[in-house]
Each structure stands twice: as structure tokens, then as C-alpha cells.
Amino acid sequence: MIKKEIVSLRSELYLKCASIYSNPSLTAKAVILYFHGGGLLYGQRDDLPEFHIHELCNAGFILVSFDYPLAPAAKIGQILDDVKSSICLYLEQPLTFAPDTLPYFLWGRSAGAYLCLLASSHKFSKPPLGIISYYGYGFLTNHWYNEPSSYYCRLPQVSKDCLSSDLHEIKAIGELDACYSLYIYARQTGKWIEQFFREREKFFYKDFSLRNASDLSLKQAVFLAHSTKDTDVPYQEFQALRHLLTRSETYLVSDEVHDFDRYTDTRSAQELLSKTIQFIDKALES
């Protein structure tokens, strides 16, 4: 039986919460701090399929899924600071999230993986034992994010009017109906980064990409999952990430979809969760 608890967390920017999933009948081995995807523009902390939650909790892990503020109201500096503060909160108050002080891992899907990888270059009082990246990225290769996406350009054109919605209030939940169109617009026009970063481009690469994070490969083991036919994040970006993260383990599929694990009845999704659990157990044993 999986237990879900929602805790309120302090934030000066927005109403912030975390969802905690666990199997109380098991002695927990580790905590997984999870950050959702959505291109920094949409999504919400409770986006995990039930299959993922059950597999991980029944393997003896506690899942803590955090809110973070979304663009365009929040910019990337605020978003990253909020993610780092969530990790620090676990380190400072572990008993808020688990019955014991336990080792922890960072896990993100898509934009959440990007935030985990970026945050891991921060010097935490205790680093994670590992990072789990499902179809993540680091803005390591050129063009795919700041030019019109051929995949999204095949979808019905989204008007610039989507920018006139009420997007000024910082919030943590970006409803699919209201906010996904903004992401489509950003990818159709090549103006994705403009939604969360407004300074000179060279500062984005310096502070908010992994291009200057060569020492990241020396810190944590990383599990990288990706599709060679990813529609959002090209395979070349994955290859650059794998080259940077020399302690990485990989899981590849050839599905023509970005978040391929959302189809939980497929062999690839089920194998992915199994490989993820093996990665965590191996890190705990080392």
C-alpha cells in the first residue's frame, strides 16, 4: 500500500509544496528527490505515472516530488535557486521527509533532469549518491533549442497571442491546456530560451548550461535514459551529455517520442524502471 503525504514548504515566491510517496511496510533504503518536466513552462509535481511510484516505493525508496516556480513569470535563476533550496531543505530537515536520515538521489524527467544536473554542480553539504536523468539535457549542442523545431512546426501553428495570457503570477502548476501551447509556440519559433532568460546569450551558456561544468563528471554516478528518435531533445544532445558525464550508465530506446516512459505498459518503460532500481541499488552498495 503506497502512502502519499503533502507537506507545505516555505517560499517567498509562491505557494510551495512537496508530495511524499512511500511504502510504510518497508524499511526505506534511500530518498529520491524528484523534479518534473515541462520545458520549465508547464507541468506539475504529481506527474509521475502510478507504475513509477509503485515500482520505486515497493523497491524500498521514498519519493519526494517538489514544486518549483515556472516560467515565464519565474526566470531560470529563480527556478534553479528554488531547486537548490529544496535539496538543501532535505539535507537540513531530513525527518520532514523520511523516518530516518537516508542517502539521497536526484531524479528529473526532461526539464527536471536539466535542473538536477545543473544543481548538482552546487557544493551541497552532502552530495547525492547519484543523479537519474530521463531524457535530460544541458544545452551542450547548438541550434536545437533556439531554432524552429521541425517536429513542433508540423503541429497546428500557435499564435503569439498565447503570450498575452495571465503569465505574470509565479506558480508551480502549469496546466497542460493553458501552458502547453506556450511551449509549442516557443519551439515553433525558436524562442524557447527567451521565455526564461532575457540577458545576453553568452551569460546563459556560462551560468545555465553544462558547457562549463566539466568537473561534474568527477562527482556523482549518473543514469541517462534517452530515445535515439527523441522529438524534443535530439540524440546528439544526449551523446554530448554522455561524453561529459564519464561515470554515466545509459539506457536507450528508439521510440519516436520524448517522454517514452509515459506508456507504462510497454517493455521499454518497464525495463527502464528496472534498470533505474538497479542503478540506485548499485550506488548504495558502493
Global pTM reads 0.96
Per-residue pLDDT of the chain (286 residues; tens, 9 = 90+): 899 999 999 999 999 999 999 999 999 999 999 999 999 999 999 999 999 999 999 999 999 999 999 999 999 999 999 999 999 999 999 999 999 999 999 999 999 999 999 999 888 999 999 999 999 999 999 999 999 999 999 999 998 888 765 567 899 998 777 789 999 999 999 999 999 999 998 999 999 999 987 656 556 899 999 999 999 999 999 999 999 998 899 999 999 999 999 999 999 999 999 999 999 999 999 8
Tell me, what's the pLDDT at 165? 58
Q: Which domains does the chain have, with CATH numbers?
A: 3-142+221-285 (3.40.50.1820)
Round to whole Å and give the CA distance between 204 and 197.
7
β-bridge partners, 32: 63, 105
* pLDDT computed for residue 205 by the predictor: 94
Query: Is the sign of the CA dihedral 208, 214, 219, 220 positive or negative?
Result: positive
How confident is the model at residue 75, as a pLDDT? Answer: 96
pLDDT of residue 284: 96
Strand partners, 107: 34, 132
Q: How many Cβ atoms from other residues are within 10 Å of residue 121's Cβ? A: 12
Q: Which three cell numbers stand for residue 19?
A: 508530495
Q: Which residues pair with 133 in a beta bridge?
A: 108, 224
pLDDT at residue 102, rounded to an integer: 97
User: Cα–Cα distance between 272 and 259 in angstroms, integer?
Assistant: 12
